[in-house]
Amino acid sequence: PDPDEHIHLPPPSYYPLLIGVGFTLMGVGALSHLAVLALGVVIVIYGIWGWALEPTGAEPAAGGH
């Protein structure tokens, strides 16, 4: 590998953790109360929506690719 090359990673995001909490609440709600399950569904939908629309902060690559 060329020593001048480096791996470009996106900035960290809290949305995957939020989605995990939502799925956990969905599981607990399925066993206990429908309102907890509904809250979990809302959190999962919000987390997926936010993660999908989160800006990457990456600059476009040279050459347009």
Please check whether residue 1 lies inside any domain of the structure.
no
Please check whether residue 32 lies inside any domain of the structure.
yes
- Can you give the pTM of this predicted structure? 0.75
Quote the pLDDT of residue 31. 98
**What's the domain range around 43?**
15-52
Split into its structural domains, the chain has a count of: 1
Please check whether residue 62 lies inside any domain of the structure.
no
Please check whether residue 26 lies inside any domain of the structure.
yes
pLDDT digits (tens, 9 = 90+) for 19-51: 999 999 999 999 999 999 999 999 999 999 999
Please check whether residue 48 lies inside any domain of the structure.
yes
The string of DSSP letters for 27-60 reads: HHHHHS-HHHHHHHHHHHHHHHHHHHH----PPP
Angle between helices 34-53 and 15-31 (to 10 degrees): 160
